[in-house]
Chains A and B, each alone.
Chain A
Amino acid sequence: MSTATRPVVSLRGAGLAFGDRVLWDGLDLDIRPGEYFAVLGGNGTGKTSFLKVLLGLLPLTTGTVEVSGEPPRRGSGRIGYVPQQRAFAASTPLRARDLVGLGVDGHRWGIRLGTRSVRRRVDELLELVGAGSYADAPVGTLSGGEQQRLRIAQAIAGDPELLLCDEALLSLDLHHQHAVSELVDEQRRRTDAAVVFVTHEINPIIEHVDRVLYLAGGRFRVGTPDEVLRGDVLSELYGTRIDVVRTGGRVVVVGHPDSSHHTHDDQEMAL
């Protein structure tokens, strides 16, 4: 099978449980190159664990998983990972370019030799995410949005086939949410990478998303946003009455059992 049609992620009968608690089970899923895939759900539904499975950090309880046609292994160069935004301490002894440089060769042992090629690649990446103007600024002095641009540059350093984003927009203001989400999508279009975006708030990325995996209480639904983000579907999934309101291109879920977890900033309409 050619790489163009081979799924980047392939799960068959996949299940994950911690002890007696089943996070999800019987998941069959193929994610194609260039697909923008969102993983939604409340806290503790196994969203982040889903990413850990793809990263090879967590084994499945049942079923099989393949990334680029192989079982996932730790440290695969084919995967880029953008973690949740956590501010760097003001005194962090790294400049913007050093943080990006870690994505180029930070996983190699020993001291960096041949600095020129790394430097060139880092400059390219900084331009790509629009961070050229603060390349030499200490990361601790940058805003959350600027730091997150750098994390994206770090994650795409190896032009990965699969870009995993774990709540990558959390605690950013709306303007930066939009900008960072655009960057992820640009990388997807340019390199035909598949994107798996874990989030509890779909609105900042909804214009890009092809399909969603919605996790709730040990069950799940897969489909396009229009298929899944509906009152009847979510009501069935949660076993309680849920209303979904669409307004101005945004999706607002009402009566959501997990909504108490999402008293976050301006995200009162969180999924």
Chain B
Amino acid sequence: MSPGVPSLPAALDWDRVVSSVFVFEDYGELLSLLSSSIWAGALLGLVGGVVGTFVMMRDLAFSVHGIAELSFAGAAAALLVGADVVTGSLAGSVLAALVMALMGLRARESNSVVGVLMPFGLGLGILFLSLYQGRSANKFSLLTGQIVSVDPVQLTSMAVLSAVVLVGLSVMWRPLTFASADPLAAEAKGLPVRGISVVFMVLLGVAVAMSVQIVGALLVLALLITPAAAAMNLTASPVRIVVLSVVFAELAMVGGILLALGGSLPISPYVTTISFLLWLLSRAAATVRSRR
């Protein structure tokens, strides 16, 4: 998945780790590598921030986690059979999203469906990874995020997927808001509430598959929930929520990547920590404001 970065040894060897991370011989190439990663992070921040507001509004946090596990299974299967990992992860998450959308539309009913699908997905993924004989770095990156490495091909596919999600959400923005906030009234207004829900789940699946590439299946929530939740601590205005959520997601993603570049750790701990700190700050701000 990451041709630009040498694979890590299985056993911990600090000298090798450090020397394999700080590669300055071909600086021009590293820079182009770095800029793709930052662009990918920026795209992901934008998509995650926007999608997250609807995930929160529809109370789908648990579903996001479930979709991510099946996305992981899809990616692991692709790795095993030598197919494209992005395609595998996309297939897994869209399939999971569709099953959830068709089997249980509202949060309450769908929780059990998600609870059933999630361990199954995770188990499948672990099976595929155990059977996979390739590089160990790839194995971990699917679950916990990768070391900075997005190649231009990956960046292109992420840009296309981002466009699909953002255009899709723009088109159904108001009906989706209506159907999420007040499904009965929306249905009475003639909106295809069920169809809207299914389409949203597919777009959510795409967003999750993108996130799995960078932050890993287990940490997708840091991108798809935390920024939106932090934004909602600060305001109830839908426009301001989306703007703040995107700003927080960008801070976490791009900030996380920039920090991760300097060390030997994957991006994900940086992203999740920044994301969490922003949420804590927003929470504190909300508490202070409500005391006044």
Query: What residues of A have a CB within 8 angstroms of the CB of B188 in the complex?
Result: 55, 57, 79, 81, 83, 164
Inter-chain contact B56/A91, CB cutoff 8 Å: yes
Interface of B, helix, strand, loop or mixed by DSSP: helix
Inter-chain contact A93/B182, CB cutoff 8 Å: no
What's the Cα separation between A115 and B24 when bound, in Å?
52
Q: Which of A97-105, A204-212, A235-243 has 4 or more CB atoms under 8 Å from chain B?
A: A97-105
Inter-chain contact A92/B170, CB cutoff 8 Å: no
Inter-chain contact A95/B236, CB cutoff 8 Å: yes
Given contacts A89-B59, A111-B174, are A102 and B185 in contact (CB under 8 A)? yes
Nearest A residue to B178 via CB reads: A106
Inter-chain contact B191/A111, CB cutoff 8 Å: no
B33 interface residue (CB < 8 Å to A): no
What's the Cα separation between A166 and B185 when bound, in Å?
11
Inter-chain contact A93/B178, CB cutoff 8 Å: no
B175 interface residue (CB < 8 Å to A): yes
Q: Give the distance to chain B from A261, nearest Cβ to Cβ, in Å.
A: 20
What's the Cα separation between A74 and B194 when bound, in Å?
14
What's the Cα separation between A158 and B124 when bound, in Å?
52
Q: Give the distance to chain A from B132, nearest Cβ to Cβ, in Å.
A: 41
Inter-chain contact B182/A83, CB cutoff 8 Å: yes
Inter-chain contact B53/A93, CB cutoff 8 Å: yes
B127 interface residue (CB < 8 Å to A): no
Which residues of B (163-196) have their CB < 8 Å from a CB of A?
A: 170-175, 177-178, 181-182, 184-191
Q: Which residues of chain B have a CB within 8 Å of any CB of chain A?
A: 53, 56-57, 59, 170-175, 177-178, 181-182, 184-191, 232, 236-238, 241
Told that A99-B182, A110-B174 touch, could you supply 15 new A-B pairs with CB distance under 8 A? A55-B188, A56-B190, A57-B187, A91-B232, A92-B57, A93-B236, A93-B241, A94-B236, A95-B237, A102-B177, A102-B182, A106-B189, A109-B175, A111-B174, A155-B185
What's the Cα separation between A94 and B56 when bound, in Å?
12
Inter-chain contact B174/A105, CB cutoff 8 Å: yes
A21 interface residue (CB < 8 Å to B): no
Nearest A residue to B191 via CB reads: A107
A200 interface residue (CB < 8 Å to B): no
What's the Cα separation between A133 and B127 when bound, in Å?
59
Given contacts A102-B178, A106-B177, A107-B186, are A93 and B59 in contact (CB under 8 A)? no
Query: What residues of A have a CB within 8 angstroms of the CB of B173 in the complex?
Result: 110-112
Query: What residues of B have a CB within 8 angstroms of the CB of A92 in the complex?
Result: 57, 181, 236
Nearest A residue to B181 via CB reads: A94
Inter-chain contact B236/A138, CB cutoff 8 Å: yes
Inter-chain contact A109/B172, CB cutoff 8 Å: yes
Inter-chain contact A93/B57, CB cutoff 8 Å: yes
Q: Which 8 residue pairs are nearest across A and B when measured between Cβ atoms?
A: A75-B190, A138-B236, A81-B188, A106-B178, A74-B190, A83-B184, A107-B189, A102-B178
Inter-chain contact A93/B185, CB cutoff 8 Å: no
Query: What residues of A have a CB within 8 angstroms of the CB of B232 in the complex?
Result: 91, 93
Query: What residues of B have a CB within 8 angstroms of the CB of A74 in the complex?
Result: 190
Q: Give the distance to chain A from B269, nearest Cβ to Cβ, in Å.
A: 27
Query: What residues of A have a CB within 8 angstroms of the CB of B190 in the complex?
Result: 56, 73-76, 107
- Indicate the member of A76, A95, A107, A111 with the most B CB atoms within 10 Å: A107
Q: Give the distance to chain B from A95, nearest Cβ to Cβ, in Å.
A: 5
What's the Cα separation between A111 and B242 when bound, in Å?
13
Query: What residues of B have a CB within 8 angstroms of the CB of A98 in the complex?
Result: 236-238
What's the Cα separation between A138 and B237 when bound, in Å?
8
What's the Cα separation between A166 and B56 when bound, in Å?
27
Inter-chain contact B186/A109, CB cutoff 8 Å: no
Query: What residues of B have a CB within 8 angstroms of the CB of A99 in the complex?
Result: 181-182
User: Would you mind naming 25 contact pairs between A and B with Cβ atoms under 8 Å apart?
Assistant: A57-B188, A75-B189, A81-B184, A81-B185, A83-B185, A84-B184, A92-B236, A93-B56, A93-B57, A94-B236, A95-B236, A98-B236, A98-B237, A98-B238, A102-B181, A102-B185, A103-B185, A105-B174, A106-B177, A106-B189, A107-B175, A110-B170, A111-B173, A155-B185, A164-B188
